[in-house]
Amino acid sequence: MEIPKHNAVLPDAPYALWESGELHDLLLLPHDGTRVEIIGGEIVVSPAPVVPHANIIQDISDALVKARLMDPAYPWVSSQGTNLTRIMTGDGYIPDLLVMAQDVRTAAAKAHAPGFMPDEVEMVVEVTSPSRSALDRPPADPHSETGRTKWSGYAQVKIAYYLLVDRSPKAAKTTLYSIPAQDSSAYLHEESWPFGETIRLPEPFDIEVDTSLWEPWKS
């Protein structure tokens, strides 16, 4: 389901309202998992994820938990549906999954932080949906100042790894982007796995994710 566009008069800049947590209510949106983000300076509203989408995120999170159970010294943990504050460009994202060091997540919890800063995050994970998939993928022209996406935003703030699970029937694959170039807001390296093939994330994560049950959305 795609949420239709509508106009709203706001008392402050969208990013300021997003960061303060007021934007959701000012837009009169239901508290049912509906997600509000600022992408490329524009307000983007997305419905709560459907079950296949949520299951993929859980599978990736479970792989991190399994690694930690096998090795208590394993440093990486995850956080779902948490704000990623991006002061540099005035954008604010809510990735499907954030991966960070255990001590970073613990410190944020103790500080009652509303979200995480880019330099606290090692990897972001997004799963595409039919209505918003273009915002998760690389833009048609990565060097253009218009049409920026989360892909370019994550690269601009130098998040080391971006894992994109593309559920489109035309793609049905997972891609790990790495080596972010801040000057061009682009990732310079990528590695992909088709659905059904085990994802093997390299160091520093060194985990495997079973994708045998992952399926593209129904077209």
- Give tens-digit pLDDT for 149-172: 999 999 999 999 999 999 999 999
Structure tokens at 87: 């002061």
Residue located via tokens 């524009």? 42
CA distances to 26, 35, 63 from 32, rounded to whole Å, are 15, 9, 27
Could you tell me the two tokens for 216?
Answer: 């593209």
Of 189, 190, 210, nearest to 199 (Cα)?
A: 210
| pLDDT surpassing 80 at residue 28 | no
Distance, CA of 129 to CA of 136 (rounded, Å): 9
pLDDT tens digits, 165-201: 999 999 999 999 999 998 899 999 999 999 999 999 9
Beta bridge partners of 65: none
As a whole number of angstroms, the longest Cα–Cα distance in the chain is: 52
Tokens standing for 47? 């419905």
Confidence of residue 1 (pLDDT cuts 50, 70, 90): very low
